[in-house]
Amino acid sequence: MRRKITVVATVLVLMILSSVPGWSGGLNLQSPNNPVTHSYKQIELFAGYGYFNPGLKKLNDGIDALHDGLVNTYYVSSSSSANTIGGLPYIDFGIRYFINTNLSISLSVGHYEADESNQYSGNYIEDFDKPLCTIHKIEDLTYSHEIRINPTLLSLTYEPPVLQNMKALDMYIGGGVGYYFSSLKNELDMGMDDEYTYRTATIDTVVSLNLLANHQANSNPLGFHLLGGININVGRFLFSLEGSYHFAKAEYEESDWLYFTQKHQQQLPSSSQYSYKCYENKIFQIDESRLEDTKVKELDFSGFIIKGRIGLSF
DSSP letters, 7-73, are HHHHHHHHHHHHTSTT--SS---S-TTS----TT-SEEEEEEEEEEEE--HHHHHHHHHHHHHHHTT
- In a domain, residue 161? The reply is no
Instruction: Tell me how far apart the alpha carbons of residues 220 and 148 are, in angstroms, rounded to a whole number.
Output: 11
Residue 151 has pLDDT above 80, yes or no: yes
Instruction: Tell me how far apart the alpha carbons of residues 50 and 307 are, in angstroms, rounded to a whole number.
Output: 4
- Give me the pLDDT at residue 194, please: 72
| Residue among 89, 108, 250 nearest 183 (CA) | 250
Instruction: Tell me how far apart the alpha carbons of residues 46 and 239 are, in angstroms, rounded to a whole number.
Output: 9
Burial of 249 (0-12, 13-18, 19+ CB in 10 A): middle
Tell me the average pLDDT of the chain: 82
Instruction: Tell me how far apart the alpha carbons of residues 265 and 276 are, in angstroms, rounded to a whole number.
Output: 14
Q: Which residue has the higher pLDDT, 270 or 149?
A: 149
Mean per-residue pLDDT for 256-274? Answer: 65
**Could you tell me the pTM of the whole model?**
0.80
| Residue among 48, 125, 113 nearest 86 (CA) | 113
Say which range, 14-23, 68-77, 80-89, 259-268, has the weakest mean pLDDT: 14-23
- In a domain, residue 234? The reply is yes
Residue 19 has pLDDT above 50, yes or no: no
- Give me the pLDDT at residue 270, please: 46
- In a domain, residue 205? The reply is yes
- In a domain, residue 163? The reply is no
- In a domain, residue 36? The reply is yes
Range of the domain at 195: 2-154+168-313
Radius of gyration from C-alpha coordinates of the chain: 28
Say which range, 93-97, 186-190, 207-211, 242-246, has the weakest mean pLDDT: 207-211
Instruction: Tell me how far apart the alpha carbons of residues 187 and 209 are, in angstroms, rounded to a whole number.
Output: 17
Tell me how many domains the chain contains: 1
Say if residues 247 and 223 touch (Cβ distance below 8 Å).
yes
Residue 211 has pLDDT above 80, yes or no: yes
* Confidence label for 196 from pLDDT (cuts 50, 70 and 90): low
Residue 206 has pLDDT above 70, yes or no: no
Mean per-residue pLDDT for 66-84? Answer: 93
User: Could you read off the pLDDT of 134-144 as tens digits, one per residue?
Assistant: 777 788 999 99
* Confidence label for 248 from pLDDT (cuts 50, 70 and 90): very high
- Give me the pLDDT at residue 116, please: 96
Residues near 207 by beta carbon (within 8 Å), at least 6 away in sequence:
193, 194, 196, 267, 268, 269, 275, 276, 279
- In a domain, residue 160? The reply is no
- In a domain, residue 84? The reply is yes
Q: Phi first, then psi: what are they for 5, rounded to 5°?
A: -65, -40
- In a domain, residue 78? The reply is yes
Residue 244 has pLDDT above 60, yes or no: yes
- Give me the pLDDT at residue 108, please: 98
- Give me the pLDDT at residue 268, please: 52
Residue 282 has pLDDT above 60, yes or no: no
Euclidean distance between the first and final Cα of the chain, in Å? 37
Among positive and negative, which fits the CA dihedral 232, 237, 241, 242?
Answer: positive
User: Could you read off the pLDDT of 57-74 as tens digits, one per residue?
Assistant: 999 999 999 999 999 988
